[in-house]
Amino acid sequence: MIIKAERTKLTVLQVATLNQPVKQDLGYSPIETVIYNIDKGLCLLGHRSIVACSGDSIVVGEKYITIKQSFNEYCSKDTLQQRESMHTHFIMSLERARESDINIIHVHDALMAEYIYKGVFKSPVPIVMSLHVPAEDRSSFKCWHQSLASSSQMYFVPISEYQKMEYPNLVNVGNVIHHGIDLENYPVKKNLDKGTYLFIIGRITKVKGQDKAIEVAKKTGSKLIIAGCVQNKAADKEFFIQLKDSIDLLLDVGKYPVDKDYYAKVIKPLLDCDKQIIYIGEINSEQKKLWYQHAKATLFPIQWGEPFGLVLIESMACGTPILAFEEGAVPEIVLHGKTGFVVNSLAAMIEAVELIDNIDPYECRRHVQNNFSITSMAQKYSELYQWIFDDNKIIDNRGQGIDFTLTPESKGIYA
C-alpha cells in the first residue's frame, strides 16, 4: 500500500504589484486580480498567505503594508516619488521574507526579480515568479534572465502553453498554470437567456481590436457595447480618437452602483435605444459581470499574441460564449464549437455571429469550472511550492539563505 506523505501547510509571501490595489471589483487590474485570486485560493487550501502590498488593498489572507497608497493607474509617468515607493515596497517585502516563518516568495513583477538578481537583497528562500508579461515586452528582464544558472533558486511559471513557447531559453520553467477565477462571484445566464448584443471589454488599444469588433457589429446589424479604459499612452489616445468616428453614443456608466435595479436602470435603456455602437467607459468587476451575463457573445478580436486573457474565462463563467481570433493563448482557453468560435479572419468572425445561439451557456460555465477555477489554480501553485520546499531543504537554514547575487567573475554561477 502506498501512503501519501502529508502535505506541508506553507507560508507564502506574495509581493504584489503597485499599479492598482489588490482587491475585488476593480476595473482594469489583471495582475492584481490574479494576485487576489491566488491569495484567496491558498487560504481555501489551508496555507498561510501573506500579501506585501499597498495599504489600500483588501486581501483574504494577511496584509503586510509596504506603502500607503497604490499608483491607481496602469500607465503613469515614471516619477521620482514612484521610484522611491517601488524601492520602499521591494525593500520592506524582502525584509519581511527574512523572518523565519516564510517558506516561499511569489513575485509578479520582473523588476522585483531583477532587484534580487542584481544582489540588492540576499533571499533566504526560493522565489517563484509568474510570467505575466509577454515575451516581447519584458524589457530588462530579457537582458538578465538569460544569465541565470539552472542551479538558481528562482522558478518561473508561464500562464499558458503559448507563453511558455515564447520563453524557450529560460531556466527553471515549470508547468503552465492557467489563471483561475472564483465562479461563486460570476452569475450565469438565467433561463438560457442567449442575449441580444455583442460585448467587448478591455483596454482601448489597437491590439485589442475594438475597431474589428465595430466592423463585425456593423456587418451583422448587431448592437455592440464597448467597455474599457483609455490609458495614458499616446498611441491609445490616438486610437480612441479614431474610434470615436464609428461610435454612436459615448457615456460613463461606471458611476452607477450595482443593485437589484441595475439591469432596468442601466442596461435595458441602452439596449432599447436606437444607437448601435455604444461606448460605456471603464466599468468595475461587479458591473462587467452583468454586462457579460446579458450579452449574446463576447468578442475578442485581438491583434497580438496575448499570453492569457482573463476576459475569456470571465465571460464563459457567466455562460456567454466567445468569438475570438486564433492568436496567443486563445485556442487553449476557448473550445471551438463548444464554448465559442476561434477563427482566423474577420469574415469568419462575422459568419460565426449567426452560429452563437448553438452554444450551450452551461457548457461554457462547466468548461471554466473544470479548467479555470480559483481552486484549480491555487492547487497547482500549492503543488509547485511543495515541490520546491521538498527539493530545497536549505530554506530552513536561515543563517545562510540562498544567494542570488551574480558577480562579474562568476559568469552565471551563483556564489
Which one-letter amino acid corresponds to residue 11? T
* Backbone angles phi and psi of 50, in degrees to 5: -120, 130
List CB contacts of 102: < 8 A, sequence separation 6 or more: 11, 12, 13, 50, 96, 124, 125
pLDDT band at 140 (very low <50, low <70, confident <90, very high): low
Sheet holding 197-201, edge to edge: 249-250, 277-279, 223-227, 197-201, 295-300, 322-325, 340-343
The pTM of this model reads 0.89
Task: Give the pLDDT of residue 116.
Answer: 66
List CB contacts of 332: < 8 A, sequence separation 6 or more: 160, 161, 162
Task: Give the pLDDT of residue 191.
Answer: 65
CA–CA separation, 328 vs 208, rounded Å?
Answer: 12
Task: Give the pLDDT of residue 402.
Answer: 37
Task: Give the pLDDT of residue 139.
Answer: 62
CA–CA separation, 342 vs 352, rounded Å?
Answer: 9
User: By the 8 A CB rule, do 27 and 41 touch?
Assistant: no
Parallel, antiparallel, or unpaired: how do β-strands 154-158 and 127-131 relate?
A: parallel
CA–CA separation, 413 vs 151, rounded Å?
Answer: 8
Mean pLDDT of the chain: 86
Q: How many of the other CB atoms lie within 10 Å of CB of 169?
A: 8
Where is pLDDT greater, at 232 or 301?
A: 301
The DSSP bridge partners found for residue 249 are 278
CA atoms in the 13 A half-sphere facing the CB of 292: 30
| Helices 30-44 and 310-317, packing angle to 10 deg | 60
pLDDT band at 133 (very low <50, low <70, confident <90, very high): confident
Delineate the domains of the chain, giving CATH numbers in brackets: 11-181+373-396 (3.40.50.2000), 183-370 (3.40.50.2000)
Task: Give the pLDDT of residue 76.
Answer: 57
DSSP 175: -
pLDDT band at 1 (very low <50, low <70, confident <90, very high): very low
Report the run of H or E that residue 15 belongs to, with start and end.
strand 11-15
Task: Give the pLDDT of residue 171.
Answer: 79
Query: How confident is the model over 282-308, as a mean pLDDT?
Result: 94
Task: Give the pLDDT of residue 241.
Answer: 96
C-alpha cell at 29: 487590474
Q: What are the tens digits of pLDDT across the range 305-336?
A: 999 999 999 999 999 999 999 999 999 999 99
Give the rounded distance of the alpha carbon of 129 from its chain centre.
14
Q: What are the tens digits of pLDDT across the range 57-85?
A: 999 999 999 999 998 776 556 778 888 88
CA–CA separation, 194 vs 327, rounded Å?
Answer: 26
Q: What are the tens digits of pLDDT across the range 233-287?
A: 899 999 999 999 999 999 999 889 899 999 999 999 999 999 999 999 999 999 9
pLDDT band at 117 (very low <50, low <70, confident <90, very high): low
How many angstroms separate the Cα of 272 from the Cα of each of 185, 196, 200, 267?
28, 11, 19, 9
3-state secondary structure of 35: helix
| Helices 30-44 and 374-391, packing angle to 10 deg | 70
Q: Where are the beta strands (DSSP E) in 259-321?
A: 277-279, 295-300
C-alpha cell at 112: 522585483
Task: Give the pLDDT of residue 134.
Answer: 77
Most confident of 1-15, 160-174, 226-240: 226-240
Which one-letter amino acid corresponds to residue 282? E
Of 164-168, 272-276, 289-293, the range with the lowest mean pLDDT is 164-168
How many angstroms separate the Cα of 134 from the Cα of each of 22, 130, 207?
21, 11, 13
Query: How confident is the model over 165-188, as a mean pLDDT?
Result: 89
pLDDT at 387 over 60: yes
User: By the 8 A CB rule, do 375 and 112 touch?
Assistant: no
Q: What are the tens digits of pLDDT across the range 332-376?
A: 999 999 999 999 999 999 999 999 999 999 999 999 999 999 999
CA atoms in the 13 A half-sphere facing the CB of 161: 4
Task: Give the pLDDT of residue 291.
Answer: 96
Q: What are the tens digits of pLDDT across the range 20-45?
A: 999 987 777 889 999 999 999 999 99
Report the run of H or E that residue 94 belongs to, with start and end.
helix 80-97
Where residue 41 falls (left for φ over 0; alpha for ψ -120 to 50; beta otherwise) is alpha
pLDDT band at 145 (very low <50, low <70, confident <90, very high): low
Q: What are the tens digits of pLDDT across the range 398-414?
A: 333 333 333 333 222 22
CA–CA separation, 176 vs 384, rounded Å?
Answer: 11
Task: Give the pLDDT of residue 323.
Answer: 98
Query: How confident is the model over 92-115, as a mean pLDDT?
Result: 86
Which one-letter amino acid corresponds to residue 398? R
The candidate with the shortest Cα–Cα distance to 56, out of 16, 12, 112, 83, is 16
The candidate with the shortest Cα–Cα distance to 308, out of 292, 328, 325, 293, is 328
**Residue positions counted in the chain:** 415
DSSP 7: P
Q: What are the tens digits of pLDDT across the range 148-159?
A: 666 567 889 999
Q: What are the tens digits of pLDDT across the range 195-232?
A: 889 999 999 999 999 999 999 999 999 999 999 999 88
